C-alpha cells in the first residue's frame, strides 16, 4: 500500500511538471499533498519553517553572489580580451583557433558558476570571429557546446553549491575537487580537436599573420584581468583564507573593479546586472525552497530509506549502480534542467549512495559530469538553447555535431570511476 502511494506521488510529480506548472510550485505542491496524506503534522507550518530555514541559511549565500558576479562579467569586454590574448599562441596547434573556444571556456569557467553563461560569453566573441576566418561551423559549435559545460565542473560552480547544500558536503572541497577533472575534460576536448584537424587538414583555414614572440607576449597582457580574478577567487579558497561565500563576495568586488577599469561599467550596466542577478537567483531559490520541503515530506513518507533498502537488496555493484544512475540522469536531463534534477533527486538518492559506500565529494563530481552531459542532450539542454539563440541553427543539428564531445564526457566519467584519484587527489592536499 505504501509503495503504491509513493509511486502515485512520483507519477503526480511528473504529471505536474509535465503540465507546465512552474517547477518550484510543483515541488511545493507534491510535498504538500504527500504530507497531507501521510502525516498528522501541521503541514502548512512545516512548509513555512522549512522554506524559511532553507532560504536564509548562511551556506547558501555563496550562490546569489556568484550569480551576480557572472551577470557582471557577462556585460564586460572580457571575452574579447581573452580572444585577443589567446589567439596568437594557438596558430601552430592543429585546429588553431578552434582551441580558443576550449581554453577560453576553461578560463572563463574559473570565474563563472554557470555553463550557459560560459557558453554565451565565450561564444559571442568566438562564433563571429571564427566564422569570418572560415573555420568549419560544425566544429566551432561543437567545441563551444562541449567546452561551455566546463562552467559547471570548474569552480566556482552554482550546481556544486546546490549539491553541497542538499547533501551537506563541504562546498570548498567540492570546488577544489572539480579542478583536475575539469582540466582533464578540457584536455580531452583539445585532443579530439587536434585529432580531427589532422584528419581534415583542408578544413582548417591558414593562420593569421605571423607574430614574433615579443608581440605574442604583448598580446597576452589582455589575459591579466581574468587570470587575476581567478587567482582572487580560487586562490583565496584553496589557500584557506576565504570560505566559498567570502570568495564569492571578493569575486563580485573584483568583477566590479575589472569592469570599471575596462570602462564598461556605469549606473545602467550596474542596475542591469543587479536586477538580472536578483531575478535569476530568485528563480533558483524558488526551486530550492520547493525541493527543501519535498525532501522533508519524502523523509516523513520514508521513500529515501525504502529506496536505499530496495537498491541494497538488488545487490548491484557500485559500477552498475553508477552506470544506471548515469543513464537515469541523462534521460531525466531530457526534460529537466540540472539544478532541478539535483535537488529533486538528492533527498531521495543520498541514503542509497551512502549505503553503497561511495564518497560524497566524489559523487558530487560524478553528478556534475553527468549533468554536463545532460546540458547538450535535446530537447531540454540549456547550452543547446544558448547556442540555438546565437547560431539560429536547429537544436537537433547542434546536438548532432556535439555528439563526439558528449561521448568524451562519458569517457571522462569512466576515467574518474577507474581512477578516483583524479577527483580526490587535490582536495586531500588542501590546507
CB 297 within 8 A of CB 35: yes
210 alpha-carbon distance from chain centroid: 37
CB 167 within 8 A of CB 347: no
Considering only residues 29, 156, 164, 364, which one is a binding residue for other proteins as defined by CB under 8 A?
29
Considering only residues 232, 255, 344, 371, which one is a binding residue for other proteins as defined by CB under 8 A?
371
Residue numbers 164-223 binding other proteins by CB under 8 A: none
Residue 388 within binding range of other proteins, rule CB under 8 A: yes
Binding segment toward other proteins, per CB under 8 A, in 63-71, 172-180, 216-224, 309-317: 63-71
Report d(CA 277, CA 58) in Å as an integer: 18
Residue 352 within binding range of other proteins, rule CB under 8 A: no
Residue numbers 269-298 binding other proteins by CB under 8 A: 271, 274-287, 289
Considering only residues 78, 144, 242, 369, which one is a binding residue for other proteins as defined by CB under 8 A?
242
**Cα angle 230, 242, 171; round to 5:** 85
Binding segment toward other proteins, per CB under 8 A, in 49-57, 133-141, 192-200, 319-327: 49-57
Residue 379 within binding range of other proteins, rule CB under 8 A: yes
Residue 240 within binding range of other proteins, rule CB under 8 A: no
Binding segment toward other proteins, per CB under 8 A, in 177-185, 208-216, 384-392, 401-409: 384-392
Considering only residues 164, 337, 377, 422, which one is a binding residue for other proteins as defined by CB under 8 A?
337
Tell me if the bond preceding 156 is cis, omega within 30° of 0: yes
Considering only residues 9, 35, 38, 68, which one is a binding residue for other proteins as defined by CB under 8 A?
68
**Cα angle 111, 56, 242; round to 5:** 40
CB of 276 to other proteins, least distance (A): 8
Residue 74 within binding range of other proteins, rule CB under 8 A: no
Tell me if the bond preceding 379 is cis, omega within 30° of 0: yes
Residue 114 within binding range of other proteins, rule CB under 8 A: yes
Residue 90 CB burial class (10 angstroms; 0-12, 13-18, ≥19): middle
Residue numbers 118-147 binding other proteins by CB under 8 A: 120
91 alpha-carbon distance from chain centroid: 30
Nearer to other proteins, 67 or 98 (CB): 67
CB of 412 to other proteins, least distance (A): 17
What is the residue-wise DSSP string for 100-156? HHHHHHHHHHTT-S-HHHHHHHHHHHHHHHHHHTT--HHHHHHHHHHHHTHHHHSSS
**Cα angle 35, 41, 43; round to 5:** 50
Residue 331 within binding range of other proteins, rule CB under 8 A: no
The grid coordinates listed for 112 are: 563563472
Considering only residues 4, 45, 209, 267, which one is a binding residue for other proteins as defined by CB under 8 A?
45
Amino acid at each position: 500500500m505504501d509503495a503504491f502511494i509513493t509511486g502515485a506521488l512520483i507519477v503526480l510529480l511528473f504529471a505536474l511538471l509535465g503540465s507546465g506548472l512552474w517547477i518550484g510550485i510543483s515541488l511545493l505542491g507534491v510535498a504538500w499533498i504527500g504530507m497531507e496524506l501521510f502525516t498528522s503534522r501541521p503541514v502548512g507550518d512545516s512548509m513555512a519553517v522549512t522554506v524559511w530555514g532553507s532560504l536564509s541559511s548562511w551556506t547558501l549565500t555563496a550562490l546569489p553572489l556568484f550569480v551576480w558576479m557572472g551577470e557582471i562579467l557577462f556585460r564586460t569586454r572580457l571575452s574579447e580580451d581573452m580572444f585577443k590574448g589567446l589567439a596568437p599562441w594557438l596558430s601552430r596547434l592543429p585546429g588553431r583557433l578552434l582551441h580558443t573556444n576550449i581554453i577560453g571556456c576553461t578560463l572563463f569557467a574559473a570565474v563563472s558558476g554557470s555553463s550557459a553563461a560560459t557558453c554565451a560569453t565565450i561564444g559571442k566573441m568566438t562564433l563571429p570571429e571564427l566564422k569570418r576566418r572560415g573555420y568549419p561551423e560544425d566544429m566551432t559549435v561543437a567545441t563551444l557546446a562541449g567546452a561551455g559545460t566546463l562552467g559547471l565542473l570548474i569552480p566556482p560552480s552554482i550546481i556544486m553549491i546546490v549539491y553541497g547544500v542538499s547533501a551537506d558536503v563541504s562546498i570548498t572541497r567540492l570546488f577544489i575537487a572539480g579542478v583536475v577533472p575539469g582540466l582533464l575534460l578540457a584536455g580531452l576536448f583539445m585532443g579530439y580537436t587536434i585529432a580531427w584537424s589532422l584528419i581534415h587538414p583542408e578544413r582548417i583555414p591558414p593562420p593569421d599573420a605571423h607574430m614574433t614572440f615579443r608581440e605574442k607576449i604583448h598580446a597576452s597582457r589582455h589575459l591579466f584581468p581574468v587570470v587575476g580574478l581567478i587567482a582572487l577567487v580560487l586562490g583565496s579558497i584553496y589557500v584557506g583564507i576565504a570560505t566559498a561565500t567570502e570568495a564569492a563576495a571578493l569575486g563580485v568586488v573584483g568583477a566590479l573593479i575589472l569592469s570599471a577599469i575596462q570602462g564598461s561599467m556605469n549606473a545602467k550596466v550596474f542596475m542591469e546586472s543587479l536586477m538580472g542577478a536578483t531575478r535569476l537567483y530568485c528563480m533558483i531559490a524558488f526551486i530550492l525552497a520547493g525541493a527543501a520541503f519535498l525532501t522533508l515530506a519524502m523523509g516523513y513518507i520514508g521513500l529515501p530509506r525504502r529506496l536505499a533498502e530496495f537498491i541494497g537488496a538488488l545487490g548491484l555493484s557500485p559500477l552498475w549502480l553508477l552506470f544506471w544512475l548515469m543513464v537515469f540522469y541523462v534521460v531525466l536531463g531530457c526534460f529537466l534542467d540540472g539544478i532541478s534534477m539535483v535537488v529533486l533527486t538528492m533527498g531521495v538518492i543520498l541514503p542509497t549512495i551512502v549505503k553503497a559506500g561511495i564518497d560524497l565529494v566524489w559523487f558530487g563530481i560524478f553528478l556534475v559530469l553527468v549533468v554536463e552531459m545532460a546540458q547538450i542532450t535535446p530537447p531540454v539542454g540549456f547550452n543547446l538553447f544558448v547556442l540555438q539563440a546565437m547560431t539560429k541553427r536547429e537544436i537537433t543539428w547542434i546536438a548532432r555535431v556535439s555528439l563526439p564531445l558528449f561521448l568524451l564526457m562519458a569517457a571522462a566519467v569512466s576515467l574518474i570511476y577507474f581512477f578516483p584519484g583524479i577527483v580526490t587527489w587535490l582536495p586531500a592536499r588542501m590546507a
